[in-house]
Amino acid sequence: MNTCPLCESDKNELLYTNSRGNKYLENYVCCNCGFVYTWPRISNQEVERLYSDGDFSKEARKSSVPDLAKFKQTEQYALERIHHLETKIPDFFSKVHSCVEIGCGAGSFLWLLKSRGQKVLGIEPDVDYVQVVKKRYKIPIETVMFQDYDNTELFDFICNFHVIEHIINPRAFVKEIYNRLKDEGFLYIECPTIDNIYTGSLDTFFWDVHVNTFSNNTLPWLLESEGFSIKEIFMNRGFVSIIAKKGTQVKFKSDDKDRIIGIVKSFAPKPKKISFSKRIETKIKNVIKSVLE
Ligand SMILES: [Zn+2]
């Protein structure tokens, strides 16, 4: 049955049916909490296969292994994230000693943390990708899915960037992070938000591998409902970022279905109007051209 992955309500509305690559994809909005999610969900086994055998890296990371250009780009992003951490949590590096990144990709963020004296660990299921990363940065990476990482060690810091939108059960994912974090530890998370259609078009914003679409309300609300307290929420490169700790402070509510539908309506393509205005634009350009000539 089509139920919301966050609140389990079965009241929903079909929100949008196109996605990146012009693929038919059903995204629903939950009438109870405003969460946006794809239905039907793929199975956990399919997810594991997608991220382990290189298909995802080839499509989304543009290459089955990272090249120099990719490392340069991810190192720039990593520097920006370190900067956010240091400015928003000034005592971060004096409090934190062990860090794990779930879905560490090119590994640049962990490499920077390591250069600052941190003990680091990456979790990344794509074996081929990881081989190249290990060679460049000499950092330890476990090639498993996070839920299969069999270790009882607790960490001072757990981060994941552009991962939670891919997770079939995001609530279980957040619970797992909570259980593996020390009481005084920090969580740092970043993902796309429906509050900023970062591609500029819903037809590329929605994407079949993004099974969850959070908003600037549903992400902090989910974290709070699983025992986190939000220290900082901010936008970074058009994505929503949160730094959280364990705690009971509650500041965020779930989202409103009508607000979400409003966002999508304001972005929905209006093909006739566009082609009309394009024609006018071309006419005006031609008139100007002829006057200038
Ligand atoms: Zn819901």
Mean pLDDT in each 10-residue stretch from start to end of the chain (293 residues)? 97 97 97 98 85 82 87 96 96 96 96 97 94 96 91 95 96 97 98 97 96 98 98 98 96 98 89 64 80 74
| Distance between Cα 10 and ligand 1 center (Å) | 8
Residues with Cβ within 8 Å of 71's Cβ and at least 6 positions away in sequence, in order, are 106, 108, 136
Please check whether residue 208 lies inside any domain of the structure. Answer: yes
| Distance between Cα 265 and ligand 1 center (Å) | 20
Tokens representing 97?
């000693």
Please check whether residue 29 lies inside any domain of the structure. Answer: no
The pLDDT of residue 64: 85
| Distance between Cα 242 and ligand 1 center (Å) | 20
| Distance between Cα 32 and ligand 1 center (Å) | 5
Please check whether residue 30 lies inside any domain of the structure. Answer: no
**CA neighbor of 129 nearest in space, from 211, 32, 23, 52:** 52
| Distance between Cα 230 and ligand 1 center (Å) | 20
| Distance between Cα 172 and ligand 1 center (Å) | 15
CATH code of 236's domain: 3.40.50.150
Tokens representing 243?
């730094």
Buried b (16+ CB within 10 A) or exposed e, 122-132: bbbbbeebbeb
Q: How many residues does the chain have?
A: 293
Please check whether residue 64 lies inside any domain of the structure. Answer: yes
Please check whether residue 134 lies inside any domain of the structure. Answer: yes
Residues with Cβ within 8 Å of 63's Cβ and at least 6 positions away in sequence, in order, are 57, 70
Please check whether residue 18 lies inside any domain of the structure. Answer: no
Please check whether residue 148 lies inside any domain of the structure. Answer: yes
The pLDDT of residue 213: 98
Q: What is the pTM of this model?
A: 0.89
Alpha-helical regions (H) of the chain? 44-52, 55-60, 68-88, 92-95, 108-115, 127-137, 170-180, 202-205, 218-225, 257-267, 271-292
* 119 CA to centre of own chain: 24
Please check whether residue 227 lies inside any domain of the structure. Answer: yes
Q: Show the domain range for 178.
A: 44-250
Give the total number of structural domains in the chain. Answer: 1
| Distance between Cα 204 and ligand 1 center (Å) | 24
